[in-house]
Amino acid sequence: MLFALTTAFSAHCQLTISGTVRDEEGNPISGIRIDLTNTYFVTNTDGDGRYRLAVGGSGNYTINARGAGYHMISYEVTLLDKPLELDLKMNPSLITIEEIQVSAVRATEKTPTTYTNLNDAQIQRGNYGQDLPYLLESTPSTVVTSDAGAGVGYTGVRIRGVDPTRTNVTINGIPLNDSESHGVYWVNMPDLASSTDNIQVQRGVGTSSNGAAAFGASINIKTDNIEQKPYAEIANAYGSFNTWRNTVKAGTGIIENKFALDARLSRISSDGYIDRAGSDLKSFFLSGVYLGKRSLLKANVFSGKEVTYQAWYGIPEAKLQQEDEAPDSLLNHFYNNYYPGGLYETPSDSANLFDSDPRTFNYYTYENEVDNYQQDHYQLHFTHRFSQKLSLNVAGHYTRGRGYYEQYRRNEEFGTYNLDTVFTNGDTITTTDLIRRRWLDNHFFGTIFSVNYTNTKNLTILAGGGLNQYEGQHFGEIIWARFASQSEIGQHYYDNEASKTETNGYIKANYQIRKLNLYGDFQMRHVDYSYLGLDQSFGDLIPLEQEVRFTFFNPKVGLMYDLNNRNNFYASFAMANREPVRDDFIQSSPGSRPRPEQLQNSEVGYRFRGQKCYVNANYYLMNYKDQLILTGEINDVGAYNRTNVAESYRTGIEIEGGYMLLKQLSISGNLTLSRNKIASFNEYVDNYDNYDAEGNMIQDIIPHINTDLAFSPNIIAALGLIYEPVKNLEIGILSKYVGDQFLDNTSNQNRKLDAYSITNLNMNYTFSKLGFKEISIGLLVNNIFNHQYENNGYTWGYIYGGQRVTENFYYPQAGRNLLIRLTFKI
């Protein structure tokens, strides 16, 4: 139906703008993006430098041409009653050549894969100081979560239901995912959005070439481009939960056509929606550039320091439903979970549980139950353009991370900390209260490179690779104990070193045959991971000395067909392989070690670009082999480790589009309808009524067939409206709906997150006064209808006394809350 409507609509558009784009020497340039301002028209020049835009009718238009390595140009044109032939000339620019830095991981209009781009204006429009994932909330198939409930502190993002450890993230083409956990901790990079020029979110395997494989999505971040003129900016925001953001930015512009320097300093703090879930975040970003005749050398240094009170525990279901449940429900939870002390004998525990607000309860009461971490990033990029056809990008990087999380623990056994039992005055003491810190001290460094070749006709080749090394030290220390046994200040009760080497090489090619574009992308990746020493797993110290090696081949092929300059179709098939994460290794023996996961991803899509509307629609099928999931099974080292399931899949339809209702009013939205299933698996449940002859508990086994994958809603929808009632005033409304999500893989209705919908309002007014280039006032009201909802959680359970006991925990999100922003630019 979409195809029929848009094709019929195109038939009425007879007027065209066409021409050839050439360089300063008269050679045609392929791959230049051509678009018209205030329309959705966009196309790319072909191998002969030709472009053609069929427009909606006569009138005045602004035509823009842009491409990596060339100055952007714009022309005002008037289209009357006949086609317009307009040839364009573009001059080389080293300022824009830095786009080559991210070309290895980016998709373009000619890439047969599914993606969404966010430009600088869209990013800064929503940048009030919340973590970067909140800027992605309007993109298709996306769910954003926050432990503290208000978007500052620990946040996460799931795309197509896939958890963050399976999402590949790069900054300027350099991998960001932690080498061991594969996670990305956005709290370590506060206010990164203020130094971000654009973001591309790819869904599925995509084109990721650096770092761990994408098993659901890739998030590719490009930091700020070079500014030609000097500038300064001060941005401040304040809002609910005593949230503050203070940002200062400045840049020299280009000095003597050779040098440029940009800097940013930020501080963000918030008390959080959840009790005691405060954050104190600091960061800076520094960038220096040297421009040669054909070369660009750019150094980026950025760092984040966070101190965040822990809100990891979540809120028990019995507490969250305290007003609705039977009075003894919370009491049962209190005794079932062995809260220290008797009822109200330890006020910091029992009073906190029973008397705190049901939606903001925080299990932790120790005043310094914090995560304290700093991460420093160093990047050096060199880009050289040999000719219009050939360019080179080489980058070196180093990331230094160190920090700990601190915990107050009660009645801990000495043996857990490699300490001796204490004998005093005839008493035998085997446990103690203590405060511990679990440290991570790591180094990640390496190099990536890519060579871009375009024959200016119909062939583009990109070849590259990378070599990355990770060195990490994990250790724990006791900083206070009621009974210290033989421990010393600063003594490590476990110590483990890990080393991981990752190499990859790839080659990508686009070949254009008239209206058909063929795409191939082939990557080889090798991983060598070793770890030794002592680590702590489920309260026990376990010896580690293992080494694993993997070699993966990740092919991607596809095609795209341009029906005309408005309509095209694409289809692709990609395969990705991924090694297990650190916990999968340390919580298993060589005999129970899980196998790598494999994903086979098919995408079929259609794109339409009109003057007032656009539509992207695609069908996806993500078939998993040996996907790792939690089943509750205890392995041969006594750990509840993840296990491989033979068959599982995600399949669905994604539609996104926009329409300009009026010159001042536009509407956009997206819809995902999906099925996310596991063919079959066995659930294991601890049964405290059943023990073998040796006193070992025997788990009950419950088979499941065709169940839903956890945290994978079947419906995700978003609808946005942008209205400009007067000049320089923009009002944006975004409504989001997320369907039911299960907390585990059993499709049990008693273990799920209910569907929810929220609406956010964003208003921005910009003007020039008092000598400032720009003054901007912004208001962001989140959840304007004050809907109570939870979008993350976990579950566990057991059998006791012949009954199945289930403990669900949730992370409530804030009700109506607001942020106000004031920005000055000179």
Q: What is the mean pLDDT of residues 224-232?
A: 91
Find out whether 816 and 792 touch, Cβ atoms under 8 Å: no
Q: What is the mean pLDDT of residues 800-818?
A: 94
pLDDT category of residue 500 using cuts at 50, 70 and 90: very high
Scanning 222-370, the segments in alpha helix (DSSP H) are: 317-320, 328-336, 350-355
Sign of CA dihedral 482, 488, 490, 496: negative
The upper half-sphere exposure of residue 689, i.e. CA atoms within 13 Å in the direction of its Cβ, equals 10
CA-CA distance, 614 to 706, in Å (whole number)?
Answer: 36
Q: Mind spelling out the 3-state secondary structure of 424-485?
A: ECCEEECEEEEEEEEEEEEEEEEEEEEEEEECCCCEEEEEEEEEEEEEEEEEEEEEEECCCC
CA dihedral 142, 811, 171, 761 (to 10 degrees): 60
Copy the structure tokens of residue 403.
Answer: 């920090």
Bridge partner list, 445: 398, 469
Residues 441-484 pLDDT 10s: 999 999 999 999 988 678 889 999 999 999 999 999 999 999 99
Range in 511-515, 742-746, 771-775 the model is least confident about: 511-515
For the chain, what are the domain ranges?
2-93, 102-223, 231-321+358-825
Residue 487 CB partners (closer than 8 Å, separation 6+): 417, 419, 478, 481, 493
pLDDT category of residue 216 using cuts at 50, 70 and 90: confident
Q: What is the pLDDT of residue 587?
A: 77
CA-CA distance, 570 to 561, in Å (whole number)?
Answer: 6
Longest CA–CA span in the chain (Å) reads 104
The upper half-sphere exposure of residue 527, i.e. CA atoms within 13 Å in the direction of its Cβ, equals 21
Is beta strand 84-85 parallel, antiparallel or unpaired with respect to 16-22? parallel
Q: Is the pLDDT of residue 9 over 60?
A: no
Copy the structure tokens of residue 291.
Answer: 């421009």
Q: What is the mean pLDDT of residues 761-782?
A: 94
Scanning 202-283, the segments in alpha helix (DSSP H) are: none
Find out whether 548 and 512 touch, Cβ atoms under 8 Å: no
Residues 345-399 pLDDT 10s: 666 678 888 889 999 999 999 999 999 999 999 999 999 988 878 999 999 999 9
Residue at 266: amino acid letter: S
Q: Please give the sequence-ordered ranges of beta strands (E in DSSP) within 125-215, or none if there are none.
A: 142-146, 155-159, 167-171, 174-175, 196-204
Q: What is the pLDDT of residue 330?
A: 87
DSSP tag of 162: B
Q: Fold match between 102-223 and 231-321+358-825?
A: no
Q: CATH classification of 231-321+358-825 is 3.10.105.10, yes or no?
A: no
Residue 787 CB partners (closer than 8 Å, separation 6+): 756, 757, 758, 815
Residue 396 CB partners (closer than 8 Å, separation 6+): 379, 380, 445, 446, 447
CATH number of 2-93: 2.60.40.1120
CA-CA distance, 614 to 657, in Å (whole number)?
Answer: 5
Residue at 302: amino acid letter: F
Q: Is the pLDDT of residue 66 over 70?
A: yes
Q: Mind spelling out the 3-state secondary structure of 752-811?
A: EECCEEEEEEEEEEEECCCCCCEEEEEEEEECCCCCCCEEEEEEEEEEECCEEEEEEEEE
CA 75 to chain centre: 37
Q: What is the pLDDT of residue 420?
A: 92
Is beta strand 567-578 parallel, antiparallel or unpaired with respect to 597-609? antiparallel
CA-CA distance, 24 to 8, in Å (whole number)?
Answer: 40
CA-CA distance, 510 to 518, in Å (whole number)?
Answer: 6
Q: What is the mean pLDDT of residues 218-223?
A: 94
Q: Is the pLDDT of residue 1 over 60?
A: no
Residues 528-538 pLDDT 10s: 998 765 565 54
Copy the structure tokens of residue 429.
Answer: 């003491």
Find out whether 710 and 744 touch, Cβ atoms under 8 Å: yes
Q: What is the pLDDT of residue 11?
A: 43
Find out whether 399 and 375 touch, Cβ atoms under 8 Å: yes
DSSP tag of 367: T
pLDDT category of residue 49 using cuts at 50, 70 and 90: confident
3-state secondary structure of 8: helix
Is beta strand 216-223 parallel, antiparallel or unpaired with respect to 167-171? parallel
DSSP percent split of the chain into helix, strand, coil, nearest 5: 10, 55, 35
Q: Is the pLDDT of residue 12 over 60?
A: no
Find out whether 100 and 393 touch, Cβ atoms under 8 Å: yes
3-state secondary structure of 96: helix
What count of other Cβ atoms lies within 10 Å of the Cβ of residue 766? 15
Find out whether 531 and 546 touch, Cβ atoms under 8 Å: yes
What count of other Cβ atoms lies within 10 Å of the Cβ of residue 27? 12
CA-CA distance, 312 to 277, in Å (whole number)?
Answer: 9
3-state secondary structure of 49: coil
Q: What is the pLDDT of residue 10?
A: 45
Range in 14-28, 146-160, 421-435 the model is least confident about: 14-28
Task: Label residues 674-693 b or e (16+ Cβ within 10 Å = b).
Answer: bebbbeebebbbbbeeeeee
Q: Which architecture does CATH list for 102-223?
A: Beta Complex (2.170)
Q: What is the pLDDT of residue 441?
A: 95
CA-CA distance, 283 to 64, in Å (whole number)?
Answer: 36
Q: What is the pLDDT of residue 552?
A: 95
Higher pLDDT, 206 or 620: 620
The upper half-sphere exposure of residue 213, i.e. CA atoms within 13 Å in the direction of its Cβ, equals 30
Sign of CA dihedral 35, 37, 40, 41: negative
The count of residues in the chain is: 826
Q: What is the mean pLDDT of residues 605-613?
A: 90
CA-CA distance, 474 to 434, in Å (whole number)?
Answer: 19
Range in 204-208, 317-321, 426-430 the model is least confident about: 204-208
Find out whether 377 and 301 touch, Cβ atoms under 8 Å: yes
Residues 139-183 pLDDT 10s: 999 999 999 999 999 999 999 999 999 999 999 999 999 999 999
Task: Label residues 290-310 b or e (16+ Cβ within 10 Å = b).
Answer: ebeeeebebbbbbbbbbbbbb
CA-CA distance, 492 to 419, in Å (whole number)?
Answer: 11
Q: Is the pLDDT of residue 510 over 60?
A: yes
Q: Which of 434, 447, 523 is nearest to 479 (CA)?
A: 434
Kind and range of the H or E run holding 182: none
Residue at 810: amino acid letter: Y
Residues 262-318 pLDDT 10s: 999 999 999 999 999 999 999 999 999 999 888 999 999 999 999 999 999 999 999
Copy the structure tokens of residue 6.
Answer: 């848009």
Find out whether 760 and 734 touch, Cβ atoms under 8 Å: yes
Question: Average model confidence (pLDDT) for the chain?
Answer: 90
Q: What are phi and psi of 100, to 5 degrees?
A: -65, -25
CA-CA distance, 669 to 735, in Å (whole number)?
Answer: 9
Kind and range of the H or E run holding 2: helix 2-11
Q: Is the pLDDT of residue 659 over 90?
A: yes
DSSP codes joined into one string, 728-744: TEEEEEEEEEE--EESS
